[in-house]
Amino acid sequence: MKKLSVYVIILGVGFGLAVTVVLADAKAKDELVIKGNAVSGAGFLKKEMESSKLFEYRDVPRGFVLSSFDLDVQKSNNFIVFKGENIRQADSRYDVTAGAYGRWKANFTWNQIPHRFSYFGKTLYTETTPGFYVLPDGLQTLVQNAVGDGSANATSKLPAGRALLKGFLTGAHGVDLGLDRHKGTLKIAYSPSVPFSFSLSASRETKEGTRPLGAALGRSNAIEVPEPIRSTTSDFHASTEYAESWGTIQAGYALSVFDNEIQTLSWENPYRITDQTYGSSTYVAGNGTSLARLPLDPSNTAQKFYLNAAFRLLPATRLTGSISHGVFSQNEKLLPYTSNTALADPAVGFPGALSPPRATAEAKANMASMDLTLTSRLFKNVHLTAGYRYYDFANKTEALEMTNGFSEVDQYWAKTANPIEPYSYARSRVFGDLSLRVLKGTSFKVGYNFSRIDRTGGYEEKLAELAGEGHKNETDEKTFKISLDSHPWDWILLRASYVDAKRTWSLDGKAFIYGSLYNFQRYFQASRDRGGWNFLAGFSLIPNLDVQFSVLSGKDSYPHSDYGLKKNDFAIYGFDLSYALGPDTSLYGFYSHEVYTADQAARRATSPDPRDGWWANTKDAVQSFGAGFATVLKKNVLDLDISAHYSKAKGSADIGAGSGGSFAAISVLAFTKPIDMTEMLTLRSKLIWKAAQNFSVAVGCWFEQYKFDDIVRTDGRLDLIVPANITGGASANSTIFLGAVEPNYKYTVGFLQFIYRW
């Protein structure tokens, strides 16, 4: 509240001063110009199928609305502009800008962004304090008694416990799943004289709401709860610049503070009212803690200093550079190893399990970046650009050894060392491009760059180090690019480019040594061959008719990976058209077809033979098209605007299992539904009647239909799910979701608008 008051005072003083400046100009010939625009009216909504998806990031007004209000006051060189959109709605935005052209400018923006997840969430949990979710004691007691404890494997008793729990689910209550971002930003820029300028900006954003979060009590006991969100991000940025014909120097400082009011999520176990452990790695829903805790996003701070400069060394040669140094830090209190009191028993756990390894996180990282670029026109039509970029993320978090082990989802204690080895990386890149302007309106560019990523630390690297293996993890990539851009005459435009890159991963200088049994490396590090090209052609053979064709293709392959991602390709074809049939009539259309394919493979557990593993070919195919038509039905009286957009994306997965190895082949069942199939159709129309010089009436409507289908995501279950075919570990599974689905929708929105301009 105090901060909002400060903002309001600053805004009020600034606005008052600006008004005084604008209205008190001494030169009588510079008349005051006031322009404005107000749009009000009414909105109507008809729903045929309800879903929060329509309202995901917007508010659809119903009843009386003030859609927008703009006011522009100018006098001589001074101005004040006020803009309001979607006034008093959940997605409203307000802007106030005042200033003197070329001298100073002050702007305040208030922006509200809703984010709706689902209207249909339900939960058994009750939030007693922020982030603390409880269940009725009677429920926990009954279920625990049904499941029992003391047995190493209570699988046979789980069905009874699940049946009891299922009965309680009918008492679940609704939960609003969505959040609201509200952000206020103040920016001031001042240039007292031509070479100098200063700028300040400050913003404060609040996020408040709830969203689904997985809060498992083991892979056997998956629970979804509403994560409470209440946080503030405050940013401040100050910079100064000095610019002359010989160059420019900029310096600045940025600070960002993220403050999360709710640090911990606690939730009770429906299967337990007392803590329990079987003392071994047995994942059964009846095992574990009665109350679990996990830390939510920690409050943190980021600071950054930077210096940028550009110098004209020679008339056609310029050197630009920048350096920056930043720090991320967070020092939140740590939770204990576990909330399960049974794990403090030294016979099965660790006496210190109910305490944290240290009081706070002591987490910090330094970022340093340096960039240097030389651009030069070597000859009249030959340009060279060369440079070096460096970025270093140095994680300075205090290491933790934790030699006594750790808790596995509050079910049992794993007595193996669990060291924290902070992960750092440094990325460097050397590049050079040569551009040749070979013909009129035509340029040809060839470029090469070499980049390297050095990685140190991280959990797996630490384990490798403990095992006596190498830990200098490096990725090198060489990239070659060529492009051609030609616009020799007004009626033709051609753009084409090609890229070829080869990435090599190495450990201690040895390439392709992935593992002793098989070749596998995480795909974001793994050796990779990349090729891609794109082509765009635009023609205006008939006056006022522009046609564009585009083709894009990219291929990534991982030639030394037996497992993981092996191939990742895309191909895109597009067509665009715009035609001005007359001075007041235009139409446009576009179509695109996209295909994304990926191949991946995985081991079968315990077998190093790729023939025993499985593979998957996934594919996403997308079709989009749209068209629009705008015309004047009667000049200065009646305008018409209509448009239609349609987009359909459909995924599929072709899965198979290897054969010929030492294991029997896996039986694979094909999917019966598509994967993440989404379909969106939007139809819009608007008729504007210019009733008077400054007054218009608009009437229109838009229809939107959304369809979604998927192998699993349409099935947001609140039921307690009982595995139909109990095999292996699945027999111990239990699941309760929030049922937070975003189903299909079909809405029609009508509106009547009164538009007044002055």
Partner 1 sequence: MPSNQVHPQTGSITQTLLTPVGLIFLALLSFPARPTGTGQSATIDDCLVCHEKQVKAFEDSVHGKKGFELRSRNACATCHGPAEAHVSSDGDPTKIQSFARLNSGEKSEPCLTCHDNGNRMSWEGSTHESRGLACQNCHSIHSPKSEDSQLKNAVETDTCFGCHKQKQSQFLRASHHPLREGKVTCSDCHNPHGLQSGKLLEQSSVNEQCYTCHAEKRGPFLWDHIPVREDCLNCHDPHGSNHAKLLNAKVPWLCQRCHADAGHRVTLYDQNQVNFLNNKVLNRGCPNCHSRIHGSNHPSGQMFLR
How far apart CA 302 and CA 75 sit, in angstroms, is: 41
How far apart CA 641 and CA 587 sit, in angstroms, is: 10
Nearer to partner 1 by Cβ, of 105 and 690: the residue is 105
How far apart CA 721 and CA 744 sit, in angstroms, is: 23
* Residue 574 CB, nearest approach to partner 1 (Å): 5
Tokens matching residue 504: 């090599």
* Residue 655 CB, nearest approach to partner 1 (Å): 5
Nearer to partner 1 by Cβ, of 15 and 190: the residue is 190
SS3 217: coil
* Residue 636 CB, nearest approach to partner 1 (Å): 19
* Residue 435 CB, nearest approach to partner 1 (Å): 5
* Residue 602 CB, nearest approach to partner 1 (Å): 4
Nearer to partner 1 by Cβ, of 302 and 701: the residue is 302
Nearer to partner 1 by Cβ, of 85 and 136: the residue is 85
**Phi/psi of residue 266, nearest 5 degrees:** -125, 140
* Residue 750 CB, nearest approach to partner 1 (Å): 19
Nearer to partner 1 by Cβ, of 145 and 620: the residue is 620
- Contacts (Cβ under 8 Å, ≥6 apart) of 8: none
Nearer to partner 1 by Cβ, of 295 and 661: the residue is 295
How far apart CA 710 and CA 674 sit, in angstroms, is: 5
* Residue 230 CB, nearest approach to partner 1 (Å): 7
* Residue 68 CB, nearest approach to partner 1 (Å): 11
How far apart CA 381 and CA 541 sit, in angstroms, is: 29
* Residue 587 CB, nearest approach to partner 1 (Å): 15
Nearer to partner 1 by Cβ, of 76 and 540: the residue is 76
* Residue 621 CB, nearest approach to partner 1 (Å): 10
Nearer to partner 1 by Cβ, of 5 and 693: the residue is 5
* Residue 650 CB, nearest approach to partner 1 (Å): 8
How far apart CA 737 and CA 121 sit, in angstroms, is: 9
Burial 101-133 (b: 16+ CB within 10 A, else e): eeebbbbbbbbbbbbbbbbbbbbbbebeeebbb
Strand 424-439 to 585-602 pairing: unpaired
One-letter amino acid identity for 30?
D
Q: Give CA torsion, residues 377, 378, 379, 382, to 10 deg.
A: -70
How far apart CA 223 and CA 269 sit, in angstroms, is: 9
Tokens matching residue 296: 């939510």
Nearer to partner 1 by Cβ, of 505 and 737: the residue is 737
**Phi/psi of residue 342, nearest 5 degrees:** -65, -20
Nearer to partner 1 by Cβ, of 145 and 249: the residue is 249
* Residue 138 CB, nearest approach to partner 1 (Å): 26
* Residue 111 CB, nearest approach to partner 1 (Å): 7
Strands (E) in 609-669, as ranges, are 614-634, 638-657
Nearer to partner 1 by Cβ, of 136 and 580: the residue is 580
How far apart CA 754 and CA 40 sit, in angstroms, is: 5
* Residue 326 CB, nearest approach to partner 1 (Å): 8
Residue in 501, 604, 595, 518 with CA at minimum distance from that of residue 557 = 501
Nearer to partner 1 by Cβ, of 506 and 618: the residue is 618
How far apart CA 59 and CA 88 sit, in angstroms, is: 10
* Residue 662 CB, nearest approach to partner 1 (Å): 16
**Phi/psi of residue 625, nearest 5 degrees:** -150, 155
Nearer to partner 1 by Cβ, of 248 and 748: the residue is 248
Residue 359, judged by CB atoms within 10 A of its CB (0-12, 13-18, 19+), counts as exposed
Nearer to partner 1 by Cβ, of 136 and 665: the residue is 665
Tokens matching residue 431: 């590049």
Find out whether 161 and 271 touch, Cβ atoms under 8 Å: yes
Residue 746, judged by CB atoms within 10 A of its CB (0-12, 13-18, 19+), counts as middle
Nearer to partner 1 by Cβ, of 604 and 690: the residue is 604
Tokens matching residue 266: 């606690």
Question: How far is Cα of residue 65 from the mean position of the Cα atoms in its chain?
Answer: 31
Q: What is the rounded end-to-end Cα distance, in angstroms, of the chain?
A: 36
Question: If residue 529 lies in a helix (H) or strand (E), which one and from where to where?
Answer: strand 528-539
* Residue 675 CB, nearest approach to partner 1 (Å): 6
* Residue 247 CB, nearest approach to partner 1 (Å): 9
Q: Give CA torsion, residues 463, 469, 471, 474, to 10 deg.
A: -120
Residue in 51, 292, 118, 53 with CA at minimum distance from that of residue 737 = 118
Find out whether 603 and 663 touch, Cβ atoms under 8 Å: no
**Residue where the block lists tokens 């294991």:** 663
Strand 177-190 to 122-123 pairing: unpaired
Strand 264-268 to 132-134 pairing: parallel
Nearer to partner 1 by Cβ, of 151 and 618: the residue is 618
Residue in 296, 214, 234, 215 with CA at minimum distance from that of residue 261 = 296
* Residue 196 CB, nearest approach to partner 1 (Å): 6
Find out whether 372 and 390 touch, Cβ atoms under 8 Å: no
Instruction: Tally Cβ neighbours within 10 Å of residue 34.
Output: 11
Q: Which letter does DSSP use for residue 564 in this model?
A: E
Nearer to partner 1 by Cβ, of 486 and 753: the residue is 486
Nearer to partner 1 by Cβ, of 145 and 219: the residue is 219
**Residue where the block lists tokens 């200033």:** 99
